[in-house]
Amino acid sequence: MASTSSSGLGLREPSDEQCRAELLAVLSSDPLKRSPKLSRLLGYLCDMQLRGLAGEITEYSIAHEALGRNDQFDPQQDAVVRVDLHHLRKRLKVFYTGEGADHAVQIVIPNGQYAPQFVLRDGPS
């Protein structure tokens, strides 16, 4: 269920076990431990991806299921999902340029998308 990307990243796909291990490592890292909200968000997104439900991730589902917004949530009026995804991408960048720099698997959430990708980095040259 993991997906891969290019530009310095491998062509092979990480196993679900590798993806889950990476998620746990990221969630226990300093950049994410400080934010239970962003940790919940990342956990929700990765769980949906690993369960093969990435196509069901919407702004509304994130707000309702991960961020605790009520059924009246209107993404046209409330940018919380987009704002929190921006902050989450920044935290992931901090993690992967710091303590997670040598991790073989990385979690990436491309701009303009909600579904995360688990990418295998190429080994050292």
Give the model confidence (pLDDT) of 67-114 as tens digits. 999 989 998 999 999 999 999 999 999 999 999 999 999 999 999 999
For residue 70, what pLDDT is reported?
92
Q: Within its chain, how far is the Cα of 91 from the centroid? A: 10
For residue 47, what pLDDT is reported?
98
Please give the model's pTM, rounded to 2 decimal places: 0.87
Least Cα distance to 96 among 3, 13, 9, 14 occurs for 9
Q: 105-108 and 117-120 as β-strands: parallel, antiparallel, unpaired?
A: antiparallel
For residue 121, what pLDDT is reported?
86
Least Cα distance to 122 among 3, 1, 6 occurs for 6
For residue 13, what pLDDT is reported?
87
* pLDDT surpassing 90 at residue 12: no
